[in-house]
Structure 1
Amino acid sequence: MKDFAYVSAPDVATAVRAITEPGAKFLGGGTNLVDLMRQNVERPDTVVDITRLPLDRVEELPDGRIRIGAMMRNSALAAHRLIRTRYPMLAQALLAGASGQLRNMATVGGNVLQRTRCPYFVDLAARCNKREPGSGCDAIGGFNRNAAIFGASESCVATHPSDMCVALAALDATIELESVRGVRRLPLVGFHALPGDAPQHETAIAADELITAIELPDLPVAARSRYRKVRDRASYAFALVSVAAALEVRDGVVTEARLALGGVASRPWRAHAAERALMGAPATEESFRRAADAELAGAVAQSQNAFKIELARRAVTATLRQLHLPGGAA
């Protein structure tokens, strides 16, 4: 690990000033950054410790929105009454991630910014355009079982690892960012970039910005929601495919639907085509399959992950079925 300077920020103003120094990185829970520093993938000159910042609360705003401080620990957020009752898909997604010990350390802001777990990204002997732009991508033609089926390019086929962000995408969450230039807000959908020919640019955050909060809209349909994660083992594994879904049905017809997929792209994948197919359709198994097919029509497999397309189709259908018939088979 490279030597680095250390700054402990007592407040947001100090933190955003410190991050303007070249080579500075924020340290929250450290569950991603510290690992990458040990592997020499991340080599910051200065680590700005933000664990003392007063950004660890969940607040209900007057208009019904929920504001989540960026330093909120994942385990605490998953257990919060407002999240469990109003946004169950988010609580379930948080509990599906990593292990209990890591959830106790990991922060909401850090979860949004975590980097891919593609094995070539952390292998300094491998070619990776995300780590070293212009070097190539060994995942293409290599081990790509976990690679993207949406939005990949000739430069990168990596996926975003977050469970939480899949739920946030389905919920139309907003990210609050602060720098010495002021505060701005961005929708989470679109915050993470597709690789194109510059996969090293992963998000819309500027180098001098700090995530200070996540805001959730007042969304009644979210009270009837679910997160489903399909993975190789029951715990401590990243998603092959995941589904965050919310569904409202009246008189047997879908009147509102929210759907996002994980493990399938370099960003949480909002399933707009599936949502459009669901709206006004009968709440039947056939309609659910048709919606999944509408979304997956644009999927493109790599050499080893064609199974993900069928897996995603079945996961979407099963999740929607369970939402409509909670006592039905998964």
Structure 2
Amino acid sequence: MRPFSFTKAGDKATAIKVISEAEEGKFIAGGTNLLDLMKFDIMHPGHLVDITGVAVKNIEALEDGGLRLGALVSNADTAYHKEVEERYPLLSHAILAGASPQLRNKATDGGNLLQRTRCYYFYDPATPCNKREPGTGCSAINGYNRWHAIFGASEECIATHPSDMCVALAALEAKVQVTGPDGDRTIPFEDFHRLPGNTPEKDSNLYEDEMITAIDLPPKGFSENFTYIKNRDRASYSFALVSVAVGLDIKEGKIKEVRIALGGVAHKPWRNKEAEALLEDKKATKENFETVADAIVSEAKAYKYNEFKIELARRSIVRALMQAAKTEE
């Protein structure tokens, strides 16, 4: 780990001012990903700004009937919060599918959004990686790419986003509240993370001198018909090969609204709204679910070692929809 300076901010204004003036400055809260990246010499910020005393640590109701998750609420406290469990069980289940109990106790909701890919080439300084060092190349494209993207990749990067929580937030259509030198702004969740394009080093549309203050959940939580499926190499403490978050609104035997988000398959949580629309006003049948699954995976592109992900995704989508709709085989 390289030397760095440190400031414990006493208020948001101070935190923003210090980060704006610092060379290679980074905010730190739980640090469950950032500290690992510093130890492996993948990231080497010159200055850390501790925001544990200034960001929001509460979960509170919103005027529109939604729920606000403070950026510093731990993943564990979010997953086990009574209102989250009752109104947004999809989010609770997704969080509990990730990491380990120890990490969930330390990791923050804001930090979860900012965790970086677990691509093994990104973590290996001996190999070229455009995400780590722009312009050096992507070792995964012609390398061992079993974990890598089948949607939205580019010739610059085929890494995947690692979060489980973010897959559920994408399905719920949450909003991210941020603040910076130019004031506060709201980022719709679908616009928060980026596809790699020609700038794979940029994971999100958050500016370098902005901090996440909260995550807003909408009033609708799909508490009656939901599911989160995670396919992985082992039963715990493993990142998704393919995960699926589903929320359905079913009235009088027909689907009125559907949300399907995939994890482990792209540089960001992946949705295909056009494919989702194929289920609107349709019955919750396996045949209809197979139609939408086929539409989603029709855009998939596999690499040498991850072709299995396409069929795994198709079957997982169907299974997740059937579980959410409580439909028998």
What range is the shorter-chain TM-score in? over 0.9
Cα deviation for residue 150 of structure 1 reads: 0.3
How do residues 190-205 of structure 1 correspond to structure 2 at under 5 angstroms?
190-205=191-206
Aligned to 2:3: 3
Cα deviation for residue 35 of structure 1 reads: 0.1
Aligned to 2:72: 71
One-letter amino acid matched to 1:119 = Y
Structure 1: how far apart are the matches of 2:101 and 2:196? 31
Aligned to 2:164: 163
Moved over 4 A (4+): none
Aligned to 2:99: 98
> Which secondary structure does the structure 1 equivalent of 2:204 belong to?
coil
Cα deviation for residue 98 of structure 1 reads: 0.5
Q: Is the 8 A contact 1:273 1:291 kept in 2?
A: no
Aligned to 1:143: 144
Aligned to 1:112: 113
One-letter amino acid matched to 1:115 = R
Number of aligned residue pairs: 328
Aligned to 2:295: 294
Q: Is the 8 A contact 1:67 1:213 kept in 2?
A: yes
Cα deviation for residue 179 of structure 1 reads: 0.9
One-letter amino acid matched to 1:60 = A
> Which secondary structure does the structure 2 equivalent of 1:93 belong to?
helix
> Which secondary structure does the structure 1 equivalent of 2:149 belong to?
coil
Aligned to 1:232: 233
Q: Is the 8 A contact 1:23 1:45 kept in 2?
A: yes
Structure 2: how far apart are the matches of 1:222 and 1:141? 43
Normalised TM-score (structure 2)? 0.97
Structure 2: how far apart are the matches of 1:195 and 1:220? 30
One-letter amino acid matched to 1:93 = A
Q: Specify whether residues 169 and 220 from structure 1 end up closer, same or farther in structure 2 by C-alpha distance, changes over 3 A only.
A: closer
> Which secondary structure does the structure 2 equivalent of 1:270 belong to?
coil
5+ long unaligned stretches in structure 2 = none
How do residues 170-185 of structure 1 correspond to structure 2 at under 5 angstroms?
170-185=171-186
Structure 1: how far apart are the matches of 2:93 and 2:275? 22
Aligned to 1:320: 321
Structure 2: how far apart are the matches of 1:181 and 1:292? 42
Structure 2: how far apart are the matches of 1:172 and 1:84? 17
Structure 2: how far apart are the matches of 1:289 and 1:75? 34
Q: Cα deviation per residue 1:128-183 (whole Å; 9 max; x = unaligned)? A: 00000000010011010000000001110000000000000011110111012100
Cα deviation for residue 223 of structure 1 reads: 4.4
> Which secondary structure does the structure 1 equivalent of 2:192 belong to?
coil
How do residues 297-312 of structure 1 correspond to structure 2 at under 5 angstroms?
297-312=298-313
Structure 2: how far apart are the matches of 1:285 and 1:223? 19
One-letter amino acid matched to 1:264 = V
Structure 1: how far apart are the matches of 2:137 and 2:43? 19
Structure 2: how far apart are the matches of 1:222 and 1:234? 25
Q: Specify whether residues 54 and 209 from structure 1 end up closer, same or farther in structure 2 by C-alpha distance, changes over 3 A only.
A: closer
Q: Is the 8 A contact 1:272 1:295 kept in 2?
A: no
Q: Is the 8 A contact 1:221 1:256 kept in 2?
A: no
One-letter amino acid matched to 2:19 = I
Structure 1: how far apart are the matches of 2:109 and 2:8? 19
Normalised TM-score (structure 1)? 0.97
5+ long unaligned stretches in structure 1 = none
The alignment status of 1:43 with 2:37, answered yes or no, reads no
> Which secondary structure does the structure 2 equivalent of 1:161 belong to?
coil
Q: Is the 8 A contact 2:226 2:323 kept in 1?
A: no
Cα deviation for residue 277 of structure 1 reads: 1.3
Aligned to 2:262: 261
Structure 2: how far apart are the matches of 1:32 and 1:16? 21
Structure 2: how far apart are the matches of 1:64 and 1:223? 17
Q: Specify whether residues 54 and 156 from structure 1 end up closer, same or farther in structure 2 by C-alpha distance, changes over 3 A only.
A: closer
Q: Is the 8 A contact 1:87 1:223 kept in 2?
A: no
Q: Is the 8 A contact 1:261 1:271 kept in 2?
A: no
One-letter amino acid matched to 1:132 = E
- Which shifted more, 26-35 or 274-283? 274-283
> Which secondary structure does the structure 1 equivalent of 2:194 belong to?
coil
Q: Cα deviation per residue 1:230-263 (whole Å; 9 max; x = unaligned)? A: 1010000000000110112233321111110000
One-letter amino acid matched to 1:4 = F
Aligned to 2:13: 13
Structure 1: how far apart are the matches of 2:130 and 2:8? 32
Structure 2: how far apart are the matches of 1:256 and 1:68? 24
One-letter amino acid matched to 1:52 = G
Aligned identity (percent) is 51
Q: Is the 8 A contact 2:225 2:325 kept in 1?
A: no
Q: Is the 8 A contact 1:227 1:244 kept in 2?
A: yes
Q: Specify whether residues 120 and 220 from structure 1 end up closer, same or farther in structure 2 by C-alpha distance, changes over 3 A only.
A: closer
Cα deviation for residue 299 of structure 1 reads: 0.5
Cα deviation for residue 222 of structure 1 reads: 4.5
One-letter amino acid matched to 1:203 = S
Cα deviation for residue 227 of structure 1 reads: 1.1
